[in-house]
Amino acid sequence: MQDVIKFQTLEPGIVQLTMQDTAHKNTFSDALVTGLIRAFDHIKASNSYKVVILTGYGSYFSAGATKDGLLALANGQGQFTDTNIYSLTLDCPIPVISAMQGHGIGGGFVMGLFSDFIILSRESIYTTNFMKYGFTPGMGATYIVPKKLGVSLGHEMLLNAQTYRGETLKQRGIPFPVYPRNDVLTHALETAKQLAEKPRVALVTLKEHLVTPIRQKLPEIIKQELAMHEKTFYQQAVKERVSTFF
């Protein structure tokens, strides 16, 4: 896990997970996915943590699916639900802060949006680029993107698959903070310290209450997204777009 996921206890109760799969630019490589799952399993099994900071390295937060992974799905070799990475932060019993200091692309951006707190950087790009490749969004994106960013902007991002700088999203009125890249982790740690002052039982209890509606809604959303994939994913045009544009 230490190779691609750096696990640090910054202060009592505060753990930071740094995704640093530099070889694959923090796409969902097997190593990164396995490392994230193991890290969150460890956090779930412990009673000593109160808050998680999830971040990336350099100019990358998470770049979503790999090219090989998309082509495999387009060839009918599995579904995105075969490995549940998208709701790791949602299912974590303690609050999770996504400190998106770098680019959040496709499923990588969506994964961050399932966190309890979200911080973006001015310089980085954020996109739900599923439709760029000719298939409809997955990973719960059709639900969490409009919910977190607002219906108008969320639908625009999902349909157009354009890229947006953090500063542009700030100007569009997103409801979470945007800072210069070098300041993102500083502000994430400030928030983490504020949370860590609270009793763990209170944090766990309140998070459970706040996210239960999302947890209950998500399985039906995933079912609907898989049904859309049956119509859109297994097309020759998708394979050609992934091969050309990725």
Query: What CA–CA distance (Å, rounded) separates 5 from 21?
Result: 8
Active site residue 229: yes
Look at the block and give the residue holding tokens 């760029």. 132
SS (H, E, C) the chain: CCCCEEEEEEECCEEEEEECCHHHCCECCHHHHHHHHHHHHHHHHCCCCCEEEEECECCEEECECCHHHHHHHHCCCCCHHHCCCCCHHHHCCCCEEEEECCEEECHHHHHHHCCCEEEEECCCEEECHHHHHCCCCCCCHHHHHHHHHCHHHHHHHHHHCCCEEHHHHHHCCCCCCEECHHHHHHHHHHHHHHHHCCCHHHHHHHHHHHHHHHHHHHHHHHHHHHHHHHHHCCCHHHHHHHHHHC
Q: List, by residue number, the catalytic residues.
A: 229
